[in-house]
Chain A
Amino acid sequence: MTMKTEEPPQEESSTFVRPKKKTDWRVVAIRGGIIAAVTVLVCLFILRPMVISGKSMAPTYSGHGFTFAFLPYFKMYDPQRKQIVVLKHAGFNTFLLKRIIAFPGETVEFRNGVVYVNGRELDEPYVEYPCDWNLALCEVPHGKIFVLGDNRSMPIRNHMGGMIDQSRLAGVPIW
């Protein structure tokens, strides 16, 4: 009985060249347009890219940085105390990054740099720079929230914080 041995496939001596596929620019344009449109829509309504400038949230956020604001967040969840939020400032291109301190109906007061909500001291481990702020007791009105930055090293009158319309809550930073 003879065994048939399989021979290794021979390399073809001739080389075939596939005809180059012609680029269909209409398809490219349509795909590019769809990608661009989806990107724009996502950036406008879901994940808004944001350049952070300013030191009011230091040391949590340093002077310069980049993040995305997740805009539908407050359609799904309620805002929480000490949560960092993105607030609409004026217009559609400037936002504020602040931390929620108090809600409507609650009282806020600063005594020698310590914040009291409803008369109880608020534990704020995220505040590193000491301050000597004093703010008379005030009640957060209906429809507003009380927000502050983490950096309290400047005089209180130079700090952009306090009451803001709840309707200006835009979203949360994703990092």
Chain B
Amino acid sequence: MSAIHFNRTKWIALAALILVTVAAVWFFYFRKDDATAVRARLREAVAFAEKQPKGSGFNLQGAGAAHSVGDFFTMETDIEISGRSQGQTYTMSAETRAQVISSYFMMRPLLTSLSVSLAEIDVSFHDADHNAATVTCSAMATGTTQNADFFREGRIITAEMVRENDGEWRFKSLRADPVISFD
């Protein structure tokens, strides 16, 4: 077995490689700037939706028990949802908001599994202090229904978010448009 001999140049190259790797890991996983915080909040909301109990049969008009939507969406959040599965834009009341939001993320009633992946996340801030932002991204939801049908639906998400006094980012509005539609 041949031994690898390190001269000074190789040590420097190795150190540079390690530094670049550490910097990349920090940049992509540990950096905490405002845009990263907004993205993280969006991902949190999606993870929350994925973890919701499935198969409860609720739908947009459902009279089922209201689902907790956590603190991602305040009661002041304006939500506009359009798409083939919903077919129209819904105006929500405080009583139905939870179901609507949950149904949107569930995409369809009677799911047995749901996975949502976000991509192309773009964050633009409205003010110099970075306390208000617009987030656009594409979301791909995949899962299975209780009929064992596989579904895959894509949406373009546009969210208005603001940073509250406690430092948390809250949704002020959430708009979901189909990627492709006849409208």
Q: Which residues of A contact B (CB under 8 A)?
A: 26, 87, 89-94, 96, 135, 138, 147, 156-158, 160-164, 168
Q: Which of A94, A138, A158 contacts B140 (CB 8 A)?
A: A94
- Does B179 make an interface contact (CB < 8 A)? yes
- Does B139 make an interface contact (CB < 8 A)? yes
Other A-B contacts than A90-B140, A90-B179, A135-B182, 18 sampled, CB-CB below 8 A, are: A26-B2, A89-B179, A90-B156, A91-B117, A91-B120, A91-B138, A93-B140, A94-B152, A94-B154, A138-B182, A147-B180, A157-B84, A157-B87, A162-B182, A163-B180, A163-B181, A163-B182, A163-B183
Residues from chain B with Cβ under 8 Å of A160 in the complex:
84, 180
- Does B12 make an interface contact (CB < 8 A)? no
Do B84 and A90 have beta carbons less than 8 Å apart?
no
Interface SS of A by simple majority: mixed
Q: Which residues of B contact A (CB under 8 A)?
A: 2, 84, 87, 117-120, 138-140, 152, 154-156, 179-183
Do B180 and A96 have beta carbons less than 8 Å apart?
yes
A-B contact number at CB 8 A: 52
Shortest Cβ distance from residue A80 to the other chain B in the assembled complex, whole angstroms: 19
Please give me the residue from chain A that is nearest to B157 by CB atom: A90
Separation of A91 and B140 alpha carbons in the complex (Å): 6
Q: Which of B152, B154, B156, B180 contacts A162 (CB 8 A)?
A: B180
Interface SS of B by simple majority: strand
Please give me the residue from chain A that is nearest to B150 by CB atom: A53
Residues from chain A with Cβ under 8 Å of B152 in the complex:
94
Residues from chain A with Cβ under 8 Å of B87 in the complex:
157
Q: Which of A90, A147, A161 contacts B119 (CB 8 A)?
A: A90
Do A89 and B182 have beta carbons less than 8 Å apart?
no
| Chain A CB within 10 A, most for which of B117, B120, B182, B183 | B182
Do B179 and A161 have beta carbons less than 8 Å apart?
no
Can you report 13 residue pairs joining A to B where beta carbons are below 8 Å apart? A87-B180, A89-B140, A89-B154, A89-B179, A90-B138, A90-B140, A90-B155, A91-B117, A91-B119, A135-B182, A160-B180, A161-B180, A163-B180
Separation of A168 and B119 alpha carbons in the complex (Å): 13
Residues from chain A with Cβ under 8 Å of B2 in the complex:
26
Separation of A136 and B119 alpha carbons in the complex (Å): 33
Separation of A116 and B153 alpha carbons in the complex (Å): 28
Do B154 and A91 have beta carbons less than 8 Å apart?
yes
Residues from chain A with Cβ under 8 Å of B117 in the complex:
91
Do B119 and A92 have beta carbons less than 8 Å apart?
yes
Residues from chain B with Cβ under 8 Å of A89 in the complex:
138, 140, 154, 179-180
Separation of A26 and B183 alpha carbons in the complex (Å): 58
Please give me the residue from chain B that is nearest to A158 by CB atom: B84
Separation of A93 and B138 alpha carbons in the complex (Å): 12
Separation of A76 and B128 alpha carbons in the complex (Å): 40
Do A168 and B179 have beta carbons less than 8 Å apart?
yes
Shortest Cβ distance from residue A86 to the other chain B in the assembled complex, whole angstroms: 13
| Chain A CB within 10 A, most for which of B84, B155, B156, B180 | B180
Do A161 and B182 have beta carbons less than 8 Å apart?
yes
Separation of A160 and B58 alpha carbons in the complex (Å): 25
Residues from chain B with Cβ under 8 Å of A164 in the complex:
179-180
Shortest Cβ distance from residue A50 to the other chain B in the assembled complex, whole angstroms: 14
